[in-house]
Homo-oligomer: A and B are copies of this chain.
Amino acid sequence: MSRSPDASIAIAAHDIAAWHTHTDVLVIGYGGAGACAALEAAACGAEVTVLEVASDGGGTTALSGGQIYLGGGTPIQNACGFSDTRADMEAYIRIAAGANADADKISAYCEGSLEHFDWLVNQGVVFNPEYYGGKHTNTPEYQSLTWSGNEKGFRESQAAKPAPRAHKPKAFWEDGGATLMATLKAAVARSPIRVETDTRALALIHDNGRIVGALCRQDGELRAFGARRGVVLCAGGFVMNREMVAKYAPRLQDATPIGNPNDTGGGILMGIGAGGAAINMSEGFVSVIWYPAGAFCEGVFVNEQGQRFVNEDCYHARGGHHCLNQSGRKAYMVVDSTIFTEPPLYAAAQVKEVGESFEELERDAGFPEGTLAATMATYNRFAARGEDPLFHKHRDFLRPLDKPPYALLDFSIDSGIYYPSFTLGGLDTTVDGEVRRPSGAVIPGLYAAGRNAAGLPRSGEGYASGFSVGDATFFGRRAGRTAARNS
């Protein structure tokens, strides 16, 4: 066999002429999910091999900001003076995960949050008990604790007492993910886990429906890696596979894919080929970034009808979701001169129009008469009282916009502004990482975690920073453990 096989067809074991090697648990992908799956499987006594297509581990986790969503009263939360409960964390995540939420996964995740914190610390991850309270996309220096989602949102804060839950491993600014992966890789290096890089898994191998290995390309050859107890798919999402994005998540097509170049959905395709169900495939994180400076949250988003559509102090993926959903995908922010003099970190939005009054802005930007101006009059009248009855922006960000000149900033996706995106669909798994068929039955010997699975984060609109790395590391461990115990 020399041609690469179709990833979406599992190969029968009796068609494998010779096995290259055998191990107990074969982990495919060496990012956050794969590292944790391997560590936990090894801790359960299994012989573990991790395969990585790149020349080193890290995956998309290493490229991320490294925030891990943890709560219920972690040592870092406590040290920074925040009280939090599992119940509040769970109530919040249920809202955040939206219509597609997996209640069992949310429950397990919240129940295990403190233990997971301890486990990470035991692997060598250092958290710095400093809190950053600004409106930002990550902590700007070495602080470990910050707000990262819509916890203080109107609906969310009614359902659950807000708490900051993003825990970034101690590292400067966006280096959290690289630091996390360096630490986890050091833990792997101390263990008997075998890592094989430059190795691309091509298709799963089954024996009468049970998954027993993977066919890989390594050193220019096709090699069959056997797995006595199971295969754990941890090979990332599919945002870099633009054909898959067009087919499964067309809403993401015009946004900018973020991740590593190997986020091409191979693990998901292999899982489908073994009979697994792929769910939540149309969902993704789509963001547009207007803060920091936090003052931009005092601005007012409007669509081409001159209507507001979101609380402007929300998490940036909620903003991106709504900006992309407006008719004609047009979205603008009205700011006054107080805001506009703040240095924008990311939001290099182009100025579409300026005006000395909202009426002038409305007219010159081509909004129908009585739309933008009426929106702003109502907004300002309520903001003066510290109220936002339409979208319930927090009073910290409510200030009448009354310092002309006013500007209209273009946040439309066709303006060229940055809309980062990644996928949130994957294999349907049990809370223990077993891959399910469409009927719900599990496939013996097959496990998945990270963005190969549909996990904790199911909705861009409700996303919070830390959901993905939290999910990948937490459920990666569970998948590794389940595989190791499979006999």
In the bound complex, how far is the Cα of B280 from the Cα of A220, in angstroms?
37
A-side interface residues, number (CB < 8 Å): 50
Stretch from A5-13, A120-128, A465-473 at the B interface: A5-13
Interchain CB contact under 8 A, A390 and B371: yes
Given A251-B99, A389-B368, A390-B368, A9–B275 Cβ distance below 8 Å?
yes
In the bound complex, how far is the Cα of B199 from the Cα of A339, in angstroms?
69
Residues of B within 8 A of A209 (CB): 9
In the bound complex, how far is the Cα of B273 from the Cα of A113, in angstroms?
36
Interchain CB contact under 8 A, A437 and B251: no
Is A345 at the interface (CB under 8 A from chain B)? no
Q: How far is the CB of A407 from chain B (nearest CB, A)?
A: 23
Interchain CB contact under 8 A, A438 and B272: yes
Stretch from A17-25, A225-233, A375-383, A397-405 at the B interface: A375-383
Which of A98, A243, A282, A370 counts the most chain B CB atoms within 10 A?
A: A282
In the bound complex, how far is the Cα of B371 from the Cα of A100, in angstroms?
32
In the bound complex, how far is the Cα of B272 from the Cα of A377, in angstroms?
55
Is A307 at the interface (CB under 8 A from chain B)? yes
Q: How far is the CB of A430 from chain B (nearest CB, A)?
A: 13
* Residues 80-119 of A contacting B (Cβ, < 8 Å): 98-100
Residues of B within 8 A of A439 (CB): 6-9, 269
Is A248 at the interface (CB under 8 A from chain B)? yes
Q: How far is the CB of A235 from chain B (nearest CB, A)?
A: 14
Which of A100, A268, A391 counts the most chain B CB atoms within 10 A?
A: A100
In the bound complex, how far is the Cα of B268 from the Cα of A42, in angstroms?
39
Residues of B within 8 A of A486 (CB): none
Interchain CB contact under 8 A, A100 and B368: no
Is A305 at the interface (CB under 8 A from chain B)? yes
In the bound complex, how far is the Cα of B284 from the Cα of A38, in angstroms?
40
Residues of B within 8 A of A273 (CB): 275, 437-438
- What would be 6 A-B contacts, judged by CB atoms less than 8 Å apart? A8-B277, A99-B253, A247-B277, A247-B428, A269-B439, A281-B282
